[in-house]
Structures are given as C-alpha cells and as structure tokens.
Structure 1
Amino acid sequence: MNIALIAHDKKKDDLVQFVTAYQPIFSKHSLFATGTTGLRISEATGLEVTRFQSGPLGGDQQIGAMIARNKMDAVFFFRDPLTSQPHEPDVTALVRLCDVYSIPLATNMGSAELLIRGMEEGLLEWRNINKRDEELDGE
C-alpha cells in the first residue's frame, strides 16, 4: 500500500513517534511524505520515504495528485487545529480529495491508531480490489 505521512510543525514530533512505534507495520508499505516530515521520519526510523516538497511549497498538492490518480491508499495527516496555516486552502483540498476518493485519513493520534491497526488486520484490502478493478477497466 502507498501511505502518505504529513504533519504540521507542532505535530511532527507526534508523527515521528507514531511511525517509530509502528515501524514494523510501516516497513511493509511504500511511504510518501512532505519534505521535513519525511526527512525526520527517515532519520528516526531508517525507513525509506519518498519525499515531496514541504506542504506550503506544494507537497500537499503533490500528494493530492496521487490521491486523484488512485495512487494513494491511506493518509496520516497530523494537523495542528490551533495554529493558522498559510497554506490552509491546500490542506482543505487534500482532506476533500480523501473524502471524494474514499481514502482513509487519520488526522490525529486516535484515528491514526485505528487506521494502522486496521491496516495490520488487513481491513483495507478493498483498496487492492479497487485498484485491480481499475486496471481491468483500463485494459
């Protein structure tokens, strides 16, 4: 599965701790992240992370483009709801794309815990079925 990892500045430590705690699960998947978040996760865990631009410089939009092309299976986006973000329209667009394309989205530690446990149990297998159906339709 392709997994996006994004965190606002005040939530980066939380996401790094979360990925570190669940490193055995994340290691089985392809990881994508916005700039600094991806670097910090890679340095802390040794996991391979494909890094995009930072969020304000277009990283959120790059991940959104993957979602729109059905190339992203889950998003862990630890948002800071108490700090105004200069790229808030991009954040809103990314959340909207997850809803439009039915991509599981965790925006805090509680929902992330449920999502990662569901992934571990194979409860997102419908994403693979969806991708296979799309590939068959394209042939």
Structure 2
Amino acid sequence: MSENIELFENYTAKTLGYLYSTFPIPSDFNFFDFIPKLEYSEFLTHQLNAYHTINYLKNNHFLDFESLDLEMGQVKNAILKPKALELLKQDGLGMQLKKALNAGRDELIRSVINKALEMSLKFMF
C-alpha cells in the first residue's frame, strides 16, 4: 500500500476520532500533535499529508473549520459535519475508532477508517 494512502488513513482516523470525542463543541487542535517524532524530511511528508487530509475531509463534507494553518499545524473551530457524525454512529464506528486510537494499533485504525469511508460512498449514491 502506498505510504501516502496509509498516512491519509492515519490522519483521517486521528482527525475524525478527535472531533468525535469533542462533538458537539467546535474545537481547536494542532495536527502536529498527531505526527510522531521524526527526522525533519520525514516530518515534512507527514505535515503535508496531515494538512491535505484535513482539507480533503472538509471539501468532502466530513468536517468544517474556520481556518487551517500548514506552517503552525493549527486548526480553528473544527467540528464534524452531519455526514461524518452519522457514519461514526453506524455500527459503533466512533467507539471502535476511539478504542483503536487508544490502543495505537495501526491496522485496526485503518480497518475502521476504511469501513467508514466505504460506508460514506453509499451515502453519496
């Protein structure tokens, strides 16, 4: 699997998991907190992936935010949109995601996110 796809799944999980845990209160967060400690060149790859993942989630109606700063990693007033909330409520996906994130098991995290994204396609058609 492509590293970018794995990073997308990881940052999707961390972003949606965080916003699910704070819902319905809009939250500020720093996506740098989602990035592991890495060498500078690797960090840049993760930084770009996290930033573009969060933008993708907004553009595809999973979340909304007031602002997103690539350089500082800051996201202001982020909240899940109804589409994401409904997805995460289906089959207990939100709780499964929270447990997977707490356990830090990447395969389980990706499995839950892939199931949610697969289910989102059904909502589109």
TM-score range, shorter chain: 0.3 to 0.5
More helix by share: 2
Structure exhibiting the larger radius of gyration computed from Cα positions: 1
**Higher RCO, 1 vs 2 (CA within 8 Å, ≥6 residues apart):** 2
Q: TM-score, normalised by structure 2?
A: 0.37
